[in-house]
Structure 1
Amino acid sequence: MNSKLNKEHIVIDGNPPEPCANHSDNRHFADVIQTRFSRRAMLQGSLGVGAVAFLGGTLAACGGSSSSSRPGGVGQPRLGFDAVPAGRDDTIKVPAGYTARPFLPWGTPILGSMPAYMADGSNTGDEQAEQMGSHHDGIHFFPINGSSEHGILVMNHEYIDRNVIHAAGPSARPRPLDEARKEMNAHGIAIVEVQKGANGEWELLNNGLNRRLTAFTEMELAGPVRGSDFVRTAYSPAGTHTRGTLNNCGSGFTPWGTYLISEENWAGYFHLDASIDPVPRELARYSVTGWQNYHWYDVEDGGAPIDDAFTRFQTAITGADATEDFRNEPNNFGWIVEFDPYDPTSVPKKRTAMGRFAHEGVVPVPAVVGQPVVFYSGDDSANEYIYKYVSNANYAEGMTGDDLLDDGTLYVARFNDDGTGEWLALDFDDVDFQADMSESAIKFSSQADVLVNTRSAADMRGATPMDRPEWGAVNPNTNEVYFTLTNNSGRQYANRANPRVLNRTGHIIRWKEAGAPAATTFTWDIFVFGGRDVEHLKGYVPSTGQHLTEENYFASPDGLLYDESGILWIQTDMSGNQQAGLTADGDFGNNAMLAAIPETGEIKRFLVGPMDCEVTGVVLTPDHRTMFVNIQHPGDRSQPGNFTSNWPSEIPGDRPRSATVIITKDDGGVIGL
C-alpha cells in the first residue's frame, strides 16, 4: 500500500513506488478488457446482463444463501445506514447511529517496561520495541475462548514517516544508529490482548500475550527454499533462518488459528553495491537495483563497530562465498510469514512454498475438511500478477502450517477475453511448466529457483499483467473471489476500445472457480469501476448498469473484507494529490471505506478518514458488533514541526499517529445492517 500510487503523487518520506520491473511481453489485462468490454457498451450500461450471464448466474445464487450463517439471522442483506458524505476534515466520520473511537495509536506502550509515548517524538529505539509500531495496516481479531469481547488483536505496521517519527525529522547520512533502530522497531507486527470492559469501552491488557515482531526478530525459513544456495548468509550459513519482516501490508489467517503476514515493498530497503555485477534476476526482477529509502546500512555509533543487523541491508559481495556476507539477504524477504498469536514464544516461519514477490496480502478460502487449503495473493506493483496457493494435502482437524503450507502448488492467473481464465502451475515438475520452459529463454534449475524467482516463472508461463493487484476477499457463502486493482497510471492506452485510459481510479474484479476452490479454471467479470467526473473514468457497476453517485463514488480501491453478513467492505488508498482533488479524476475527498452488497450493486460510503491518511485493514468480532479499522499515516505529507494532520489528537500542533479505530453501533446492533 504505502501511498505509492501514481506519478502525480509526490513522495515526501514514505516508501516510493517500486519501479516497474516486468518487461515481459505477456498480454496485459488492459488488452483483455479492451476486447471483452467496449467503451461504448460500458458507458451505455449494456454490460449488465452479460456480466451476470458469463458468471453462470452466481450473482443470483449468492442471494439464495442460508441466512443461518449471517449475524442477526438476516437473509439477503440491505445496508442499514445513510451514506457518509465525502469530505476533507481531520477526523473520522461514520454514519449517524455509530460511534468511532481511536485505539492503540503508534507509541502506545504494550509490553516490557511499558515506556510512555513522548509527544515530542523523543522515544528511543529500544522504547519503540515495547510500543505499538507505526503505520497500522492488516489486522485480525483472534477470540479467546470464542469470545467477541475478549481476544488478541494482531496487526501489521507497514512502514514509517521519518518526518513524524523522529523529534526533528531524520538526520543526514551516516545516520545515528538509534534512529535506524527506532525505525526498524517501528516496522513489523503488534500482538495485543484486548477486552471490552463493563463500561463498554475496549481496553489493552498485559497478561503475557503481548508481543512485537520487528525487523530484528529471528525467523525460520520453511518449505522448498529452506537450505538452498539462494538464502545462505553469514547469519545463517545453512540457509535456515533470517532476521525480521518488512513492509507488512495486508494479512491473513488460517483455520488452525495462526496469523499470516505479507511482505510487500521490501525491495526498497536494500542498497545494491557495485560489487554485484551482473545483477542476478532474483534482484533485478524485484527492483533491488539501487533505489533505497531508509539507508539502515549507512549508520554510525560514535566510531563503534556496526552490527550486521544493520549492515546486511547493503547487498554486496565482501566474502569468499555467500556464507561470509549478505549478498543473498534480499532473498530472505518477499514471503508469507506465519506465526501463532496465542503462543508468545512461537518462532515465525517464512512459508516459501507460497512464492516470493511483493505480497499485498494473503486471502484464505474457507477451509473444508477433506479438501486442500487455498490462499490467494496479489503482487502489488504495476503490471504484476495474481497468484493462488493450493496445498497438496487435504485439510483435517489438527493440521498446521507445517502440514499444509510447505508442500503445495503455486499458480498464477491468466485472464482470457471471453470471461474465462486459468491457473498456470509454477511447479518445476509440472509437464506444462517444463514444456513452456523448453520454448523460453527463461530457465530454472529447481523448485527453489522457481519460488525465489516467482515473477520470472510467471513471466515464462504467460500470466496476465494486472493494474497493481492488491487485497482480495472471498464471499464466505459462495467462495466467489473479489480483488482490487488499485490503479496503473503508468499505462497509457488511448485507443478507441479502451474504457480506462491510464486507469488512475482502479476497479474491482471477481471470479468464480470452476468447481472447488482448487480448480484450475475460472470465469471472471468486473464488479465495479472506480471514478467520478471525467467521462471515461466514471465509476460504474457493470452488473447493474448504474454509475456511482455522491454517496458511493471512490478511487483507488485497496483493502477488502467480505463478512458473513454478506457485506463487502472496500477501503481506498488514493494519493495525496488525488485526495486533494488536484488530478483530472475529480474530487473524492479523503480516503474512505465503503460497504457493498454485490448481489444488488448497493454501495454506500461508511467511513471517511482524516487528512492525508490511508484507510486500511478491517476486521469484525465474531458477533459483528465491534469493528476494528486501521488508519495509516495521517498527515503523510508532513514536514518536521509542520504537520498536515493532528489526528487522533484534537490539539493543533500535535504530531499525527497511525491508530486503530473501534466502531460500534449505538444500539449495540450488527455493523452495517
Structure 2
Amino acid sequence: MTQRKFDPARDGLDEDPPRSPIPRSDFHSVMRQAFSRRALLKGGLGAAVIGLFGLPLSGGAVRAARPAASPSTLLGFECVPTSAADAVSVPPGYRVQVFLPWGEPICGTYPDFDRHGGNSASEQAEQMGMHHDGMHFFPAEDATGRPRSDAGLLVMNHEYVDWLFLHPRGPTLTAPRPADEVLKEMNAHGVSVCSVRRGEDGEWTLVRDVRNRRITACTPMTVTGPARGHRLMRTAYSPEGTRARGTMNNCSHGVTPWGTYLTCEENWNHYFGYRDAAARPALDRYSVSHAPGRFGWYSTRGWETVPSEADPDALFARFDATAQGPRAETDYRNEPHTFGWIVEIDPNDPHSTPVKRTALGRFAHEGIVFQPPVEGRPLVAYSGDDATFEYIYKYVSRHPYRAVDAGGHLLDDGTLYVARFEPDGRGRWLALRHGENGLTAENGFADQGEVLIHARLAADHVGATAMDRPEWGAVHPQSREVYFTLTNNTSRTAGQGDPANPRGPNPFGHIVRWREDAALPASADDPAVEGFAWDIFAFAGDERSGSVAGKPLDAGNIFAAPDGLWFDGDGRLWIQCDVSAEVVNQGPHARFGNNQMLCADPATGDLRRFLVGPVGQEITGVVGTPDGRTLFVNVQHPGETTSLDAFRQGRYTSHWPDGAPHRPRSACLVITREDGGVIGGGTPPDPAA
C-alpha cells in the first residue's frame, strides 16, 4: 500500500496514518548491549543472532527445508534491468498478456467501458473495479476431481479509486457531492469474481458465468464472531449490530483451506470523520478525522455531503460518525467500527452474503496468510497492520481443523495474538484475550468484543513491538517459516531503532522472518504456540545498503519498499515493490526505477529482478496456476503521478496499457513462458547466445 502525503487537489486518500511509537527504552537498552548498530546494518541481524546464539532459523521444531536447489535451477531467468519507461518488461523467453483492466464488463448487462470515464455508477457495478490488488486463482476441476490450470475463478481486490480518471472531468471538489458520482466511487471499490479460461491460442478470456459478480462498498454483509451484536457495532442500519454495508480499501487477501476468499480492509479510516465536541480516543487511534463543526473530512472525498434527499437509506450519510442523539442505534457513530475487518467471500456461490470475521481483529489489514493446515490441529494465520509503528498479529483457532467439516466457524472462535520481537532473536506471541495481560474492564476493555474492535489499543496495552509498516506475509510451503515485508518507515528516528526494525529512518524497508517453536501446536492454549525464533531475511536498498540473507545487492536486484509477497509451490519467494508516488524515480529512489517484482531463493539468498512495471504504478497481487506455468500479477494505479493541472490538460504521466491518448487503467498481467515451462524455473538464457 502506497504511503504519501495528502494532496487536496488529488485523490490520494490511501496514505497510511502516522503514529508515534510506544516508548521501549528498556528494550532498546538491552538491544544496545547485545548488538552494535554497525554490526546489525553491515552483516544483517540474522547473522548476528546466529553467531551469538548458534540458532539456525530452520532448525528446532520446524521441519527442515528441502536441500537447497542451485540458483540456475530454482531461479532460471535473466535479470531484468531497472526502467523508467511506460511499459512492462519481463525476462527474455517470457510473454505478457494484459487482462481484465479497470472497466472491463464482467457481469449483469456487461456494459461497455467508456474510455473517457463516462460510465454510470450502475454500469461501474457490473465492470472491473479500480486499482487491482491482492487476488487468487481458484482452479476448476477436471472429470477426475483434479485441479485444472486452464480454467477457474480469478478473484481480486480493488483497493481505492483514482477519481481524476474515474470521472469524465475529474471529481466535484466542493460540497455537496453528486450522488451518482459518489456511488460510482463506491462501486469501483471492493472485489471482482471472474470466471476465466485459457484458449487453444494460449490467450486468457473472461467467461460469462453466473458466478461472476462485483462486491462493493454498498454490498450487504453479515457480522460474526465476538463482536457480533456488540454495543459498539450497533448503527441505524443494524440496531442489533449483526449486519454491515460494504467493504472497501481492499488491499491484500487470503485463501482459506476450505476454498473461500478473504478480502482485507486496510485504509478505510480516511472515508470517515466525526464532529463531536470532544475527541473520541478509540476513533483517534485509528486516525479517523476529527473536525468539529466541519463537513467534508477531506475536501476531495466528502461522501457524507451528498444531499439528504438523494440519500434516503443513509448510504452516504453513514460516513459521518458524529453522535446525533442519545443512542447509537439512531445514527452512525459506530459505522467506523464496521470496517477494518477481514471479510470472507464464497466465490462459487453468487448468492452468498459476505461475512466480516471479527475474531481476526480490527485494524488496517494488509492481508492474511495461513500455515498449511494439519488434520486435528488448530488453524494458524497471520496478518499485518499496514501503518507506521503498527503490529503483526497471529490467529489460532480454538477448534482443530478437520477437512471433512472445515469452514468459517474456525475463524469465529480462537485467540488473536500480537508479536513482540525480543533482542536475543526470540519472540513472543502476546494473547489479546479479555482478562489476560491487563485487558480488563478496569483498563478500558469491557469484554472480548471490545478487545477486538479496539485491537490496536489492546496491542498497545500488552506491549507489542511497533514495526515499520507490516504488509504482506507468506509461509514457506515446505519449512513453514513465515516471511513478512516491512515496507518502510521514514518517521522512525535513529534513537527509535530496535533489533527487528534497526534502521531509523528506514526509507527502503526490509523483510523479517520467523519460525514457530511449535509449527504444529497441539491446541490454542499450548504455551509452545507463544514462542518463535526470528531474523531479518533482507534489507531493501541499493548496493551499499541492501542485502538478502547477508549477501549484498547488485544492479540485478536492488529494490525498495517491499510490499507484496508470495511463495509458489516450488519455494520461490516473489517480492513486489511499492515505492510511493512522492519519491518514485526521485532522489535516493531514482536508482530503483519504476516499481518492480523480484524472485528469491530463500535457501541460497539468490535474488533476481523479474518484472518492471509502467510509470506511476504499484506492482501488487501475484498468484499462479497449479501447474506453475501461468502467473497472474496486478499493476495498480498507473499514471498516479499525474497532477490535477496535468490531468485537465490531458497530460497523463502514463497511458498504459491502451497507449496515448487514453487514460491509464489498472490491469492484470498474465505471464507465461514461450516454451511453456514453469514460471521462474529452468536454465536462464545465455546472454552471449
The normalised TM-score by structure 2 is: 0.90
1:645 corresponds to which letter in structure 2? Answer: S
Of 15, 21, 26, 1:17 maps to 15
8 Å contact from structure 2 (residues 254, 262) kept in 1: yes
Q: What is the deviation of 1:78?
A: 2.6
What is the CA-CA distance between 1:284 and the residue it aligns to?
1.4
**Which of residues 235, 249, 252 in structure 1 aligns to 2:251?**
249
Deviation at 1:122, TM superposition (A): 0.5
Shift in Å, 1:50? 3.9
The alignment partner of 1:183 has SS state of: helix
Partner residue, 1:221: 223
Equivalent position amino acid for 2:386 in 1 = D
Which of 562, 576, 583 aligns to 2:581? It is 576
Alignment of 1:282 with 2:282, yes or no, is yes
Aligned to 1:209: 211
Equivalent residues in 2 for 1:55-74 (5 A)?
56-59=55-58, 65=65
**1:298 lines up with 2:296 in the alignment:** no
- Measure the CA separation in 2 of the matches of 1:666 and 1:596: 22
- Counterparts of 1:286-365 in structure 2 under 5 Å? 286-290=286-290, 292=298, 294-300=301-307, 304=310, 306-365=312-371
Deviation of 1:41 (Å): 1.9
String of CA shifts for 1:182-216, please: whole Å, max 9, x gaps.
10000000000001111111110012110100000
Distance in 1 between the 2:410 and 2:326 partners? 37
Partner of 1:554: 559
Distance 2:610 2:108 in 1: 37
Residues 144-165 of structure 1: per-residue CA shift (max 9 Å, x gap): 1111111000000000111111
- Give the superposition deviation at 1:100: 1.1
1:16-60 C-alpha deviation (Å, 9 max, x unpaired):
523324564356998887666534324554867545565833458
Q: Quick one: distance in 2 between partners of 1:471 and 1:348?
A: 22
In the alignment, what sits opposite 1:503? 506
* 1:127 positional shift: 0.3
Tell me which residue corresponds to 1:109: 105
Does the CA contact (< 8 Å) of 1:119 and 1:654 recur in 2? yes
What is the distance in 2 between the residues matched to 1:29 and 1:198?
60
Aligned residue-pair number: 652
Mapped partners of 2:374, 2:628: distance in 1: 23
Paired residue type of 1:4: Q
Residue 448 of structure 1 corresponds to 449
Shift of 1:578: 2.9
Q: Does 1:373 find its partner at 2:376?
A: no
Q: Compute the displacement of 1:631 (Å).
A: 0.4
Structure 1 residues 414 and 344 mapped into 2: Cα distance closer, same or farther (>3 Å)?
Answer: same
Structure 1 stretch displaced more, 195-204 or 495-504: 495-504
- Inter-partner Cα distance in structure 2 for 1:30 and 1:665: 49
Residue equivalent to 2:538: 528
8 A contact 2:57–2:514 mirrored in 1: no
Given the superposition, is the C-alpha separation of residues 279 and 479 from structure 1 closer, same or farther in structure 2, using an over 3 Å criterion?
same
Which amino acid in 2 is paired with 1:371? R
Aligned mates of 1:13, 1:661 — CA distance in 2: 25
Which string of whole-angstrom CA distances, capped at 9 and with x for unpartnered residues, describes residues 195-246 of structure 1?
Answer: 1111111110012110100000000000000001011111111111010001
Matches within 5 A, 1:633-672: 633-638=637-642, 639=644, 640=647, 641-650=650-659, 652-672=660-680
CA change 1:550–1:74 in 2 (3 A) is closer
Matched, 1:487 2:488: yes
Note if contact 1:532-1:586 (Cα within 8 Å) is conserved in structure 2: no
Aligned to 1:563: 568
Q: In the alignment, what sits opposite 1:627?
A: 631
CA drift of 1:429 comes to 3.8
**Is 1:412 paired with 2:418?**
yes
Maintained 8 Å contact 1:282/1:331:
no
The alpha carbon displacement at 1:366 in A equals 0.8
Deviation digits for residues 581-625 of structure 1 (CA, Å, limit 9, x no counterpart): x23355210000000011100000000000000000100011110
Structure 2 runs not aligned, ≥5 long: 142-146, 291-296, 522-528, 682-689
The alpha-carbon distance between structure 1 residues 55 and 183, as it changes in their structure 2 partners (threshold 3 A), is farther
3-state SS of 2:315 partner: helix
Aligned pair 1:382/2:378, yes or no?
Answer: no
- Counterpart residue type for residue 531 of structure 1: G
1:594 equivalent in structure 2: 598
Aligned mate of 2:547, from 540, 561, 566:
540
The answer on whether the counterparts of 1:55 and 1:512 sit within 8 Å (CA) in structure 2 is no
* Distance in 1 (alpha carbons) for counterparts of 2:157 and 2:257: 19
1:322-342 deviation line (CA, Å, top 9, x unaligned): 111111100000001101101
2:518 is paired with a residue whose SS is coil
Distance 1:576 1:249 in 2: 17
The alignment status of 1:85 with 2:81, answered yes or no, reads yes
- In 1, Cα distance between equivalents of 2:393 and 2:11: 30
- In the superposition, relative to structure 1, how do residues 567 and 37 fare at CA in structure 2: closer, same or farther (>3 Å)? farther
Task: Sort the Cα spacing of 1:74 and 1:600 in 2 relative to 1 into closer, same or farther, 3 A.
Answer: closer
Q: Contact (CA 8 Å) 1:365, 1:373: kept in 2 or not?
A: yes
Q: Which amino acid aligns with 1:566?
A: G
Contact 1:4 1:15 in 2 (8 A): no
Q: Which amino acid aligns with 2:561?
A: S
Candidates 586, 594, 614, aligned match of 1:610: 614
Contact 1:194 1:204 survives alignment (8 Å): yes
Q: 1:263 to 1:16 in 2, by over 3 A?
A: closer
**What is the CA–CA distance in structure 1 between the aligned matches of 2:7 and 2:75, rounded to whole Å?**
34
2:597 aligned counterpart, secondary structure: strand
- Alignment check: 8 A CA contact 2:564 2:621 kept: yes
Structure 2: how far apart are the matches of 1:106 and 1:381?
A: 27
Offset at residue 310 of structure 1 (A): 0.8
Secondary structure of 2:77's counterpart equals coil
Q: 1:42 to 1:428 in 2, by over 3 A?
A: closer
Aligned partner of 1:263 in structure 2 is: 265
Instruction: Give how far 1:503 is off.
Output: 0.3
Q: Distance in 2 between matches of 1:31 and 1:623?
A: 50
Q: Contact 2:58/2:65 (CA < 8 Å) preserved in 1?
A: no
Does the 8 Å CA contact 1:136/1:659 hold for their aligned counterparts? yes
> What is the SS of the residue equivalent to 1:630?
strand
Cα distance in 2 for residues equivalent to 1:32 and 1:577: 36
Task: From the superposition, tell whether residues 386 and 503 of structure 1 become closer, same or farther in structure 2 (CA, over 3 Å).
Answer: same
SS in 1 for 2:74: coil
In structure 1, which of residues 210, 226, 230 is the aligned counterpart of residue 232 of structure 2? 230
- What do the CA deviations read for 1:294-318 (whole angstroms, capped 9, x no partner)? 21111248x6455401110111222
CA-to-aligned-CA distance 1:342-393 (integer Å, 9 cap, x gap): 1111111000000000001111111111111111000011111000000000
**Residue identity matched to 2:80:** V
Q: Does the 8 A contact of 2:14 with 2:267 survive in 1?
A: no
Pair 1:481–1:120, CA change in 2 (3 A): same
Letter aligned with residue 574 of structure 1: V
Whether the 8 Å contact between 1:99 and 1:665 is mirrored in structure 2 is yes
Q: CA deviation at 1:4?
A: 1.3
Letter in 1 for 2:657: P
Change in Cα spacing, 1:670 to 1:11, as seen in structure 2 (3 Å) is farther
Which of 182, 195, 208 is the aligned partner of 2:184?
A: 182
**What is the aligned-residue RMSD (CA, Å)?**
2.6
Secondary structure of the equivalent of 1:140?
strand
What's the counterpart of residue 475 of structure 1? 476
Q: Aligned partner of 2:601: which letter?
A: I
CA distance in 1, matches of 2:367, 2:496: 33
Residue type of the partner of 2:126? E
Tell me the amino acid that sits aligned with residue 507 of structure 1: H
Give deviations 1:439-496, integer Å, cap 9, x for gaps. xx84211001101110111111010000101101000101100000000111121699
Query: Deviation at 1:398?
Result: 2.9
Tell me the alpha carbon deviations over residues 512-565 of structure 1, each in whole angstroms, 9 at most, x when there is no partner.
Answer: 1002254110010000101116x5xx1123x3x321100000001000001111
